[in-house]
Amino acid sequence: MKSVKTSLALAVALAPLLVPMAPGCGSSSESADAGPQLATGIYTASDARSVVDNCHTSPTGLAGSQYLLVVDAGYVQFYGTTTPDPVGIPPQPAQGQGTLSEGQATLLRENDTTIAGTSCAFHLKVVNRITVTRDNAFTSAYERDETNHTGNCPPDHPDGCTTTFNWDLAQ
C-alpha cells in the first residue's frame, strides 16, 4: 500500500507542472491567431485582376474604391461602402461575413436583391475568400453568382451568371 500512496502523492505533486505544457495553453496575453491581423476600418481596393464578368457588373475600375471592414474577435463583416449598411433580404454585409482564422476566411453573403432602378430581382450569392497578407491588408478571390431572375432584367444580366476576380485591399 505504501507504494500506491507514494505514486499518488507523486502524481498530485507533478500535475501542476504538466498542465502548463499542454498544447494550446498559454498566457491570456498571447494572440490566439499569430501572424498579420486585420482591424476594423476603411480599406482601399486595388483594381480587379483575373476578371471573368458573365454578370456584367464591371469590376474593373475598382482601384481606389473604399469599403468598411468590421472585425470583432475574429468575426469579419465586409460592407459594400464605407458605412455599416447591410443590403438585400435578409440584410447582410454586401461583400460577406465570416470567421477569420489563421489569416484566412471565407466571407459569405447569400440573399435576395434587386438592380436599382429596375424591376429585376434575383438571388445573390457572394463569396470572398480572403487571405491576410500583412497587418491590415488582404487579398480576396471574389465570386458572385446570380440565380432566379424575375422582373424586367437587362439582357446583359443572364440567369445563372457568375462573375469572378481577385483584388487586394489595405488600410
Asked, for residue 3, whether it belongs to a domain, the answer is no
Asked, for residue 29, whether it belongs to a domain, the answer is no
Cell digits of residue 85: 449598411
Distance CA 100, CA 78 (A): 12
pLDDT digits (tens, 9 = 90+) for 60-116: 889 999 999 999 999 999 999 999 999 999 999 999 999 999 999 999 999 999 998
Asked, for residue 99, whether it belongs to a domain, the answer is yes
Q: With CA atoms as reference, report the closest residue to 115 among 143, 144, 76.
A: 144
Residue ranges making up the domain that contains 86: 36-170
- Cα distances from 72 to residues 36, 75, 88, 101, in angstroms, run 15, 5, 22, 12
Asked, for residue 1, whether it belongs to a domain, the answer is no
pLDDT digits (tens, 9 = 90+) for 128-155: 999 999 999 999 999 999 999 999 998 8
pLDDT digits (tens, 9 = 90+) for 60-70: 889 999 999 99
Domains identified in the chain, total number: 1
Asked, for residue 52, whether it belongs to a domain, the answer is yes
Asked, for residue 2, whether it belongs to a domain, the answer is no
Asked, for residue 18, whether it belongs to a domain, the answer is no
Asked, for residue 21, whether it belongs to a domain, the answer is no
Report whether pLDDT(57) > 70: yes
Q: Which residues of 134-152 are buried (b: 16+ CB within 10 A; e: fewer)?
A: eebebebebebbbeebeee
Cell digits of residue 68: 468598411
**Considering the entire predicted model, what is its pTM?**
0.79
pLDDT at 35: 83
